[in-house]
Structure 1
Amino acid sequence: MSEAAIHSVTAPVARPELLASLDPLLREWLPRQRWFAGKGRPVTGFSLVTANELLPSTAQLGLLHLLVRAHQPLTPAQGAGTQPGDCYQLLIGVREALPPHLAPALIGHVEEGPLAGHTVYEALHDPRPADVLLEALRTEARVGELRFERDRRQEIRGGLIPRLITAEQSNSSLVFGDTFILKLLRRIVPGVNPDLELPLTLAREGCPRVPAPTAWMAADLGGETYVLGVLQPYVQGAVDGWELALSELAKESEPAKDGCRGGEGFTGEARALGRATAEVHTALARALPTATLGHVQMELLVGGMTERLAAAAQAVPALRPYAAGLRTAFEALADLATEGQTWTAQRIHGDLHLGQCLRAPSGEWSLIDFEGEPSKPLAERRMPQPPLRDIAGMLRSFDYAAHAVPGALGSARAGAIPPVPDWADTCRAAYCAGYAEVAGRDPRADPVLLRAYETDKAIYEVLYEARHRPDWLPVPMAAIRRLAASP
């Protein structure tokens, strides 16, 4: 496909009638998507932020790129009424009839408006629309408010076969010919997105632990930039840390043969992962500004942790008996700050766990997905923070893996007794030791801050599991009991 085939939206598609005709279909389809953030509240309407046509819908196949804002009722804490809510990126395919192999992608049949008589569907399931996105990035196309850019030092070949990654994600990802992976952000906010900012920074620093962005897409609206997607090299044959950890746990649960237990290899992987984490932290601290957190800053940090504990204890009764013990973790941190201790803050990953790490067949580890916690404001995600926040997240991830049934990679059930009771402790120690080999300081040398961050993370996990996966609640509750009893 040539660049000329990618052009600005035509007037008939841009009319308000377009959104009005899609509205009833989107109200039913959007809340069912894994990446929809407003679950539990009905969608009362939509407002169109922008609409562009990447393939003319007058042809046999059309492709619309929409940014729409979903309107939902306010939560009880926000008051009464409704307000324009989150902005979502939609890629909608348009056909007269949907082929059988695209049936799972169906959004619905349009009854009126400029697309009347057509079928609309999630376009990322369709190789042709997916190929349009790669071509737009390769040719650095401009489509209305959309801007496609690339690093010209990296080659982007055409004709790569796309496939959609169907695993549950908070965004959507396309793999092109085992050469590139395109992460499309679904919930869109204005500003500098760390998922592009930090990998670009690490590439300039020559840090090999993060795949360097090859290309990216953005929208310029109202004087602000919205990052929409990032194309990076695909690490062929890589396995994420969560799957690898469960695989090793499955081996370790095998009966001992000749007095030897099978598969004790993840300790070395944990140490290597600690080194990789430290390399990323060191590069970020070298490239971007750092800050010193004193009494005032730590008072705000501790206040936020304490408030989250109170809210979680109110929502989850099982947490209440441990609240007083958990609060001591935050009080101890506040005491150190009052005594004059300070901490260094820097840019970090922000949501680090085993699933955000890839091990290549060569044995090298990479860190991915620098978006941070999507539910938090972008400005908060870009704030310098102590590196121990990342480390605490990884330590909690080892604990989660240890409680998953070994061998059930896709459907692990929580709460089972770990086959190797000290597996998590061994991996946690190896990870911290590996980190110290590069950073020059063991994270365990700051036990008060580390305990506070682990406690805060475990409280978040309890609230999440109670709301979404009650069967997994025993996992963070085991950590809650341990952390509440810690000195």
Structure 2
Amino acid sequence: MAVTDHEPTDDEVVRLLADWLPDRRWFPVKGADARLTAVGGLTLADPRGEARVRILLVRAEAPGVDTVLQVPVTMRPDRTAADDGPTPGGARPGQAGPAWIGSVGSPPMHVRDGVGDPAFLRAWMSAAEGPRPPVDAEHARVLTGEQSNTSVIIPASDPAGAPDEGPAASAESRPPGAGDATHGAAILKVFRALAPGDNPDVDVPRALARGGWVHVPRPLGWLEAQWPEDGSLVHGHLAVLSEFVDGAQDGFELACAMAERGESFADLARDLGSVVAGMHAALASALPTTDPGRADERAAATADAVRARYRWASGRSSRSTPTASRRSPPAPPG
């Protein structure tokens, strides 16, 4: 597991981030000035050597907020700006765009948000643990609108599919509305707000897939790191690469849409209940709690993760007062 270090350029990049971060949807400080400090970082090697790749861990502090954020960046010399083609998520390295952060150093280096940059994706795949299928980093697509993570859909470089890492879910084995596993494509979820301890988004699907349960996207790669926290080192997951399931629908949204059309959700509800029951059985088998000490440890880790997410959510200012709709749950009596 990699341990973060500190480089002189980290502080320069953090100063640039003071102007760039407030416009990110996943930035937890809204309506107030945040104090930003570099906690540390990891340098990843781009196999093609096209850019310097650095994962920065930045502490954001404000009233009610104290969160460590992950900001992967790529840095390219100024002289390459005229020759580089467009990269996913923004304009050319030397131009303004959603991924453009600024320039640091002398001679200047162009700094971009690395998520979606092929150089970062190649470097991440090289550094991650797990089977790591061959993917086409040049044609990755960043998803927009996420609140606490950033996800990137990465097509397979080999359309034949992902490596055989346990049974995959076929179209027949998935319930209606669950979508289909796109041949070899993957989705990289970069955790922006970090919390110490194992991330359930990594460990739970990994355990279920290892046990042969087919109703979960298979984790294909993951990256962990250690960073300083309150005078000691803590560890946590930075990101996870999973099998990409295309066409999946949110169950609640699907049920509402069917209700609006006057269609019955009963059969799908039965299928969903069957899958949930199977998941509980698979969880009991994959993650047994017969060891009280281990059970307490997992419970504490889960509680810590929930607290960290609550702190992140409570530190955000309200965007607007929600209005009632037919989809809103009824108010409790009294």
TM-score by length of structure 1 reads 0.49
Give the RMSD, CA atoms, in angstroms: 4.0
Task: Supply the AA of the counterpart residue of 1:170.
Answer: S
Structure with the bigger percentage of helix? 1
Question: 1:223 & 1:73 partners in 2: Cα distance?
Answer: 23
Question: 2:22 & 2:142 partners in 1: Cα distance?
Answer: 20
| 2:62 maps to 1:48 | no
| 2:244 maps to 1:267 | no
Q: Which residues in structure 2 correspond to 1:183-202 (within 5 Å)?
A: 183-202=189-208
- The alpha-carbon deviation at position 131 of structure 1 amounts to 3.3
Question: 2:58 & 2:315 partners in 1: Cα distance?
Answer: 27
What residue number does 1:300 align with?
Answer: none
1:166 aligned to 120, 144, 148, which one?
A: 144
2:14–2:38: 8 Å Cα contact kept in structure 1?
A: no
For structure 1, the residue ranges without an aligned partner over 5 or more in a row are 1-6, 76-82, 142-147, 253-260, 293-345, 351-370, 379-459
What residue number does 1:281 align with?
Answer: 280
Question: 2:205 & 2:268 partners in 1: Cα distance?
Answer: 23
Question: 1:226 & 1:65 partners in 2: Cα distance?
Answer: 14
1:138-174 deviation line (CA, Å, top 9, x unaligned) = xxx3xxxxxx2104xxx71244642212232420111
Distance 1:234 1:476, change over 3 A: closer
Question: 2:124 & 2:316 partners in 1: Cα distance?
Answer: 36
What SS is found at the alignment partner of 1:479? coil
Distance 1:229 1:61, change over 3 A: same
Structure with the bigger percentage of strand? 2
Question: Which contiguous aligned blocks of 4+ residues in structure 1 show a shift greater than 4 angstroms?
Answer: 98-101, 371-374, 463-466, 473-478
Aligned-pair identity (%)? 28
TM-score by length of structure 2 reads 0.68
For structure 2, the residue ranges without an aligned partner over 5 or more in a row are 156-181, 293-297
Q: Which residues in structure 2 correspond to 1:106-145 (within 5 Å)?
A: 106-110=99-103, 112-113=104-105, 117-134=108-125, 136=126, 141=127
| 2:130 maps to 1:150 | yes
1:232-291 deviation line (CA, Å, top 9, x unaligned) = 1111333333553454345x1xxxxxxxx5xx1433222222222222123223432279
Distance 1:238 1:61, change over 3 A: same
Task: Supply the AA of the counterpart residue of 1:284.
Answer: L
What residue number does 2:177 align with?
Answer: none
Larger radius of gyration: 1
1:117-141 deviation line (CA, Å, top 9, x unaligned) = 233221223334323323x1xxxx3
Distance 1:24 1:198, change over 3 A: same
Higher relative contact order (CA 8 A, sep 6+): 2
What SS is found at the alignment partner of 1:124? coil
1:217–1:230: 8 Å Cα contact kept in structure 2?
A: yes
- The alpha-carbon deviation at position 216 of structure 1 amounts to 0.8
What residue number does 2:7 align with?
Answer: 15
What SS is found at the alignment partner of 2:281? helix
What residue number does 2:75 align with?
Answer: 94
Task: Supply the AA of the counterpart residue of 1:484.
Answer: P
Question: 1:291 & 1:40 partners in 2: Cα distance?
Answer: 46
